[in-house]
Structure 1
Amino acid sequence: MRGLLFFQWIIALTFLLVTQVSQGDEVVSSAEPAIRLPKLLVFSAIEKSQNSLISAQVLVEAYRRIGVSIQVRFYPAKRALLLSNNGLVDGELFRIRGIEEQYQNLRPVPVPVNYLEGVVYAKQLNFQVTGWDSIKPYRIGIRRGVKFTEKGTVGMNTKIANSNEELFTLLEAGHLDVIALARLNGIKTVRDMGLDGREPLPGYLVKHPLIHYLHKRHEALVPKIQQELEAMEREGVIRKIREQQVAAMLSPNSN
């Protein structure tokens, strides 16, 4: 009898040990694999954009926190998107929300790294800007590849320029009634071109959060960099970087 009980106890103990080992194996096998972080990521961005400079500073800090260096390459707006969507760089520095609907190889990191205000400049006109419909009656200049103005002016009388400088040149020559662009880019271009006293019309067309995009091959990185950007947002770091960059841009010594 004692031998039988001892034998049953041995079987029960063996079953318990096997079960524990099996459960332990399941925990190990179900754990998410560690993400291998690249040493360097290269992002495309819109050339001659003040929002590019601000967004770059934010993302340099965010990626530094996870031990990754980044390099930003500046291109014409449309070309920048084609390069990032086709995987010739690792992602897009920033764009407005929703571009992934058209550029389906890009994955959004849904924390704003910056924001833009769309404003209007005019030479002969003066009115309160209250959204896109308020400029519908006019000849409108927009910059090629800048998605927020392309989307906002669908069906309107637009002329596309290749740079902000070209937009202001066309406006000054009377070939356009108004031009639409980001507020910071307008301020910088007016200064660079020596158009003293030229101010945007009161009000704004739209205000857009700007978010970072990674190419789909880096999709596993999205939650990680999102976490860092959320922390920076809570800490006020993103706001501080933007304020510092804007102050530097508006400084009399800025060039």
Structure 2
Amino acid sequence: MSTSHAQPQARTPNFAVTSRSWPKQAGLRKVLGRTLRRCGALVTLAGAALGGQAATPLVFAIPPEDRLSVTMAQRVLALAYQELGVEVQYTKLPVRRGYALADEIDGVGLGVTLDIALTQVRIEVPVSYEEAAVYATRTDIVPNGYASLQPYVIGHIAGIGYLETRLQGMRTDTATNVESLFRKLEMGRTDVVVDSRFNSCLIKTLGLRKVQLLHPSLETAPGFHFLHMRHAALVPRVTAVLRRMAADGTIKKVQAQALKEYRSQCD
């Protein structure tokens, strides 16, 4: 599903200049038309410079699963954009597809990576985090960093950049969603899965009896928000608001509340 949003075009005033009213002024009419078109373009650019604060909301891609990390990011961004008076919406896309459509969307709600596409600008303040953990059906596997997974066939979600980097050169098997990822593990098609520790609740929901969350976790990685470069004028404003929210503890409070709610639903 592709979501594309164009800036609304400024309406050109209807000056009803006709050949009858100005029978000998064709050249002047052409000049006037060019001037009005240029003015319209300037109005459109001015609207874009304001960060897209038009009637059309900004649309950000997020993964289709109900991930705790995504919930954290959405709540943090809701506060930030509300303060800026900018309406935002989300479209659910598989990670790899969301990155492939990076030129068509207004941004990415959460990316646990440093780069997504040349057109996407990373906001430097983390809005969430992922705790990478190992899942398995065997009890004799003890995670000790990514290198300890070398002997196994490792399942992970396709398109998650930092995991693809960590697992480079190892035997991997990708899935497009978390449910498929865990079902493959349950059926023995993979030996282990590397995914968010917070997805352990899904194991219960899916009724998977063999899959277990192993300890310790592999790492905690920060998650960032990305904006399309056509909203470049909005980047410093969003960054400033998020920096203040990080400094005064708002982001941590939002994340802690989301984690508390998650654990209460999981238990």
TM-score range with shorter-chain normalisation? 0.7 to 0.9
- The 8 Å contact of residues 115 and 208 in structure 1, kept in 2 or not, is answered as yes
Residue 164 of structure 1 pairs with residue 182 of structure 2 = no
Runs of 4+ in 1 over 6 A off after TM superposition: none
The normalised TM-score by structure 2 is 0.75
Tell me the alpha carbon deviations over residues 171-211 of structure 1, each in whole angstroms, 9 at most, x when there is no partner: 11112110010111x22321321236854211222221111
Tell me which moved more, 112-121 or 33-42.
33-42
The normalised TM-score by structure 1 is 0.79
Q: What residue number does 1:21 align with?
A: none
Structure of higher CA gyration radius: 1
Q: Which amino acid aligns with 1:182?
A: S
Tell me the alpha carbon deviations over residues 24-73 of structure 1, each in whole angstroms, 9 at most, x when there is no partner: xxxxxxxxx99524142110111103321221111011111111111111
Q: Of the candidates 59, 63, 74, which is equivalent to residue 56 of structure 1?
A: 74
Distance 1:154 1:127, change over 3 A: same
Q: Which amino acid aligns with 2:239?
A: Q
Unaligned runs of 5+ in 2: 1-45
Aligned residues, how many?
A: 217
Q: Of the candidates 193, 197, 213, which is equivalent to residue 226 of structure 2?
A: 213
Distance 1:197 1:156, change over 3 A: closer
Q: What residue number does 2:135 align with?
A: 121
Once the two structures are TM-superposed, the CA of residue 161 in structure 1 deviates from its matched residue by 1.4
**What's the % identity of the aligned pairs?**
30
Q: What residue number does 1:250 align with?
A: 263
Q: Could you say what secondary structure the match of 2:125 adopts?
A: strand
Once the two structures are TM-superposed, the CA of residue 93 in structure 1 deviates from its matched residue by 0.6
User: Per residue, is there more strand in 1 or in 2?
Assistant: 1
Alpha-carbon distance between aligned partners in 2 of 1:99 and 1:160, rounded to the nearest angstrom = 20
Alpha-carbon distance between aligned partners in 1 of 2:230 and 2:78, rounded to the nearest angstrom = 20
Q: Could you say what secondary structure the match of 1:112 adopts?
A: coil
Considering only aligned residues, what root-mean-square deviation do their CA atoms show, in Å?
2.1
User: Per residue, is there more helix in 1 or in 2?
Assistant: 1
Q: What residue number does 1:225 align with?
A: 238
Unaligned runs of 5+ in 1: 1-32
